[in-house]
Amino acid sequence: MPSLDDLRKRISSVKSTQKITKAMKMVAAAKLRKAQEMAEKGRPYSDKMDVIIQNLSKAINDPSNAPKLLVGTGEDKTHLCVVMTADRGLCGGFNTNICKLAKKYFDEAIKTSKNLKIITVGTKGLDQLKRDYGKYIIKKINIKDKKKLTFSDAEEIGKQIVELFRNKEFDKCFIFYNKFKNVISQIPQQQQVIPAKSEDKNKKEEEISSYEFEPEEDEILEDLLPKNISTQIFKAFLENSASEQGSRMTAMDNATRNAGDLVDKLTINYNRSRQAAITKELIEIISGAESL
Amino acid sequence: MEKNFNLEIISPEKILLSDKVNSVTIPSFEGEMTILSDHIPLITFLRPGIIEIHESKKKKFFTEEGTVEFSNNNLIILASTIIDLENLTKDKISGMLKESKDLLSKGNLNDKAVYVNSHKIDCLSKINL
């Protein structure tokens, strides 16, 4: 049985924890609004970019001459996985969910004896992956010192990926991130960025409107494809940051509520022990008086 | 009768403009072009220059690069760096000018970068606010 003093100390410590989680929740809520707005405003750009690429790829008749970034190397040996996570914890299952999805994919790739290469963006993902998959990690990108992620940050990462591809370091590239659906649900996503051509053949080939290209298709694609990768990464950044804040807000909300419950319980306990102590003292006094 | 078409100017951060317009002049990679409604489907690049929207209220944007798609009377301009001319200040212009000139003077650029940067300088120095 903890003494009264112990109980009092615990209550005050839980209360100060509650204050912190409450503050974190409010900060996350304020950041969330901004991040969500940015994620939603950023969507049209990447969607339209995708449409243009798909239109362009339809216009190419001779796949053997098409840029490798679009149609792939024709092989399926080495997979590059870019796992994008946050740099901070205390945001519920946010980082774990991405890592879980990525790990599942890694195991499958290893089972089918594919070469695996991993780039981690954000330190939390690195922490979770380095024990089991440390030897596959080829690059660690840290975004901790950046307060706000800009398009040029995404471009930087995109460039590195394209360069690796040009050096024939991998055949396919996937990015892992959380898609922001709403405050309580974020869905971990796996998206193929190289080759860019979607293999979705269910879509009926529409009547292709023959485009006029200026300059030639190849030149356009040569320039557009790396840009598309940066765009997709930027989109993942935006979705991730909105998801992170959303996830943190929910997690901290729960934590605040749990702390409240705990304080209630401890207070009852404290009052009971106090009452017990008083009663005990009274009994001692009374029985002392009776024995006289 | 004047025909209008849909124009959308989109940057990675947001949709800058979405409107029905009559004609748009864009600094395409191989020269300026003006797009009117019922233009044939087109995909092209932008070089640094001014996007000009001809409407009752004229609008101008400075862009560094971008991708343009026109199909079915929908013009989509995707530009990663784009600024409304109204928001452009002399300081910003001289900053960008200096940056490009520095790049050019280093001299280890490929033809394309030289082309793009010289156009940027050309265009920026013509802007008068």
The domains found in chain A, sorted by start residue, are: 4-21+252-291 (1.10.287.80), 30-250 (3.40.1380.10)
Cβ within 8 Å, pair B29-A214: yes
- pLDDT over 90 at B3, yes or no: no
CB-based contact B43 A55, cutoff 8 Å: yes
Alpha helices in chain A, H assignment, sequence order: 4-59, 68-71, 94-111, 123-133, 151-166, 217-291
A292 confidence band (pLDDT: 50, 70, 90): confident
In this prediction, residue A199 carries a pLDDT of 55
With bands split at pLDDT 50, 70 and 90, how would you rate the model's confidence at A270?
A: very high
pLDDT category, A64, cuts 50, 70, 90? Answer: low
Residue B8: its chain A contacts at CB < 8 A? 44, 48
pLDDT band at A132 (very low <50, low <70, confident <90, very high): confident
Chain B positions touching A55 (Cβ under 8 A) are 43, 69, 71
pTM (whole model) above 0.90: no
Predicted pLDDT at A274: 94
- Chain A residue numbers with beta carbons less than 8 Å from the beta carbon of B10 are 44-45, 48
Q: Do A49 and B42 touch (CB under 8 A)?
A: no
Contact A269, A7 (CB under 8 A): yes
Q: Is the pLDDT of residue A229 over 60?
A: yes
Across all residues in chain B, what is the average pLDDT? 84
Distances (CA, A) of A255 to A19, A30, A182: 10, 18, 20
- Mean pLDDT across A90-101: 90
Domain layout of chain B by residue ranges:
5-85, 89-126
Confidence grade of residue A263 (pLDDT, cut at 50, 70, 90): very high
Per-residue pLDDT at A205 exceeds 60: no
User: Between chains, do B43 and A220 touch, taking CB under 8 Å as contact?
Assistant: yes
Q: What is the pLDDT of residues B17-74, one digit of tens each?
A: 888 888 899 988 888 889 888 888 888 888 888 898 887 678 888 888 888 888 888 8
Q: What is B21-72 written as a DSSP string?
A: ESEEEEEETTEEEEEETTPPPEEEEE-SEEEEEESSS-EEEEEEEEEEEEET
Residues in chain B within 8 Å Cβ distance of A48:
8, 10, 69, 76, 78
Contact B29/A213, CB-based, under 8 Å?
Answer: no
Among A42, A49, A224, beta carbon nearest to B13: A42
Residue A203: alpha-carbon gap to chain centroid? 30
Around Cβ A175, how many Cβ atoms within 10 Å?
Answer: 25
- pLDDT for res A62: 65
Mean pLDDT in residue range A204-230: 73
Q: Does domain B5-85 have CATH number 1.10.3720.10?
A: no
Chain B residues in contact with chain A using a Cβ-Cβ cutoff of 8 Å = 8, 10-15, 28-30, 40-45, 67, 69, 71-72, 76, 78, 80
Is A81 among the catalytic positions? no
Taking an 8 Å cut-off on Cβ atoms, the answer to whether A45 and B10 are in contact is yes
Contact B9, B51 (CB under 8 A): yes
- The pLDDT, as a whole number, for residue A217 is 74
- Nearest Cα neighbor of A216 from A56, A71, A93 is A56
**What residues in A contact B67, CB-CB < 8 Å?**
49, 52, 224, 227
Does the pLDDT value for residue A201 go beyond 50?
no
From the list B28, B41, B78, which residue is nearest A209 (CB)? B41
The minimum CA-CA distance between B121 and chain A, rounded to whole Å, is 21
Q: Bridge-partner residues for A82, per DSSP?
A: A119, A175
